[in-house]
Amino acid sequence: MVSIAAVILAAGASRRMGSGRPKQLMELEGEPLVRRAARIALQAGYDPTIMVLGYQAEDVEGALAGLPVSPVVNKAWNEGMASSIRAGIRVVPQDACAALVMACDQPAVDGFFLIAMLHAHRREPDRIIAAAYAGTVGIPAMFPRRCFEAMKGLTGDRGARALLAETAVLALPLPGGELDLDTLHDFEEARRRMDQA
């Protein structure tokens, strides 16, 4: 059976957080963000699960202890999100038919959503599948192998937005997907939403 990889972006310096420590290590429901993202991807069945590290890579990798994750260090992490996508896609195995790209800081993303993306890919394997929220589409997004060469050429901090502008993108609704954890206020909002769920 062909595999579908997960490429989790966890390389940034999270400067807006202002906490003095990597955002990736901040905890939501008692679990570091980077470990939570890896765990849900693994439990959903993505293989391999590739974690792209950068800022304080050694410390962030330590939070993954015991998980069967493939870490890759993006030495160009300061360039922005595109550099992390390039670093992750370059190590996706040849037998992988697609790759999920996700961040470690979207609390609305859970295992059920990642499994729904797998099912959607199996129904329509040639289409890009992206999360839909706040009137747009974004990550998590599933890219078939035909997109890999273009992804290896991405630049800047726009990530894969040009690819997601394709008219053939299949959008899966992700309520709350617009919330990513860039500031301490974002963390408070995420915890409030989880308490109400």
> Residue for token digits 């890009």?
128
Domain total of the chain = 1
pLDDT value at position 158? 66
What is the three-state SS of 55-91? CEHHHHHHCCCCCCCEEEECCCHHHCHHHHHHHHHHC
We report the CATH number of the domain holding residue 79 as 3.90.550.10
**Total residues found in the chain within this entry:** 197
| Residue range 31-71, pLDDT digits in tens | 999 999 999 999 999 999 999 999 999 999 999 999 999 99
Q: Cα(81)–Cα(61) distance, rounded to whole angstroms?
A: 18
CB distance 130 to 170 below 8 Å = yes
| Residue range 63-82, pLDDT digits in tens | 999 999 999 999 999 888 89
Q: Which two tokens stand for residue 28?
A: 């939501």
Percent of the chain with pLDDT over 90: 68
| Domain around 103 | 3-196
HSE of 99, CA atoms in CB hemisphere, 13 A: 29
